[in-house]
Chains A and B, each alone.
Chain A
Amino acid sequence: KQEVTQIPAALSVPEGENLVLNCSFTDSAIYNLQWFRQDPGKGLTSLLLIQSSQREQTSGRLNASLDKSSGRSTLYIAASQPGDSATYLCAVRKETSGSRLTFGEGTQLTVNP
């Protein structure tokens, strides 16, 4: 059974800092990995998707890397802003068509002005 762990559970940083969120998964036979953002009381917003054959994806100040063999992904946020405050979730999809995503518990990020 796939298990996804995110560390740390919560993180508070001053504005402007670069930071790294970690995601690990127990079964390396994944199809892809997706990072989401969730604001309080809202649904999930897709940030980045990395296919199993890829090593990283970038979007603006966000960079996600994937080391499939070691079961790890990191989300790097550059020059953090108060608007980045949210819960960040990673999720992996198994190596079979149409299968469910398994989610981590998330990292709650607070960026202080």
Chain B
Amino acid sequence: GAGVSQSPSNKVTEKGKDVELRCDPISGHTALYWYRQRLGQGLEFLIYFQGNSAPDKSGLPSDRFSAERTGESVSTLTIQRTQQEDSAVYLCASSLVLLAGTGELFFGEGSRLTVL
């Protein structure tokens, strides 16, 4: 696609429910990143994919958070048993692998999650 696409753009859920957030990276970008941005705060790294594997998932805040990527394309971030502190904008970014490009990151518009 032309850019990184994320869905849903907005999600309101009740505490305790599970949510899934989707990211479609730029076509051909093998590196994919998830970040979280709480209101008024900076970006917090969650997980990085190279192809379908995740060599760095050290930023996932708890075992309620998981992510997968299939076909070296779409990625899904799943949050189980959501808590109010999970409310944030979840941003996805993609880039070419460093050996093939500059490593410039391109971000989607984000998925805004509100947990009531």
Contacts and interface: CB of A to CB of B under 8 A. Distances in A.
Given A32-B103, A34-B104, A98-B50, A43 B109 contact: yes
A93 B107 contact: no
B65 interface: no
B108 interface: yes
A100 B33 contact: yes
Nearest to A93: B103
B102 A42 contact: no
A45 B108 CA distance: 9
A103 B42 CA distance: 7
A61 to B, nearest CB: 20
Nearest to A105: B42
**Majority-rule SS of A interface residues:** strand
Given A43-B91, A49-B104, A100-B48, A106 B98 contact: no
Contacts of B107: 36, 43-46
B97 interface: yes
A28 interface: no
Contacts of A81: none
A84 B30 CA distance: 32
Interface of A: 31-32, 34, 36, 41-46, 49, 51, 89, 91, 93, 97-106
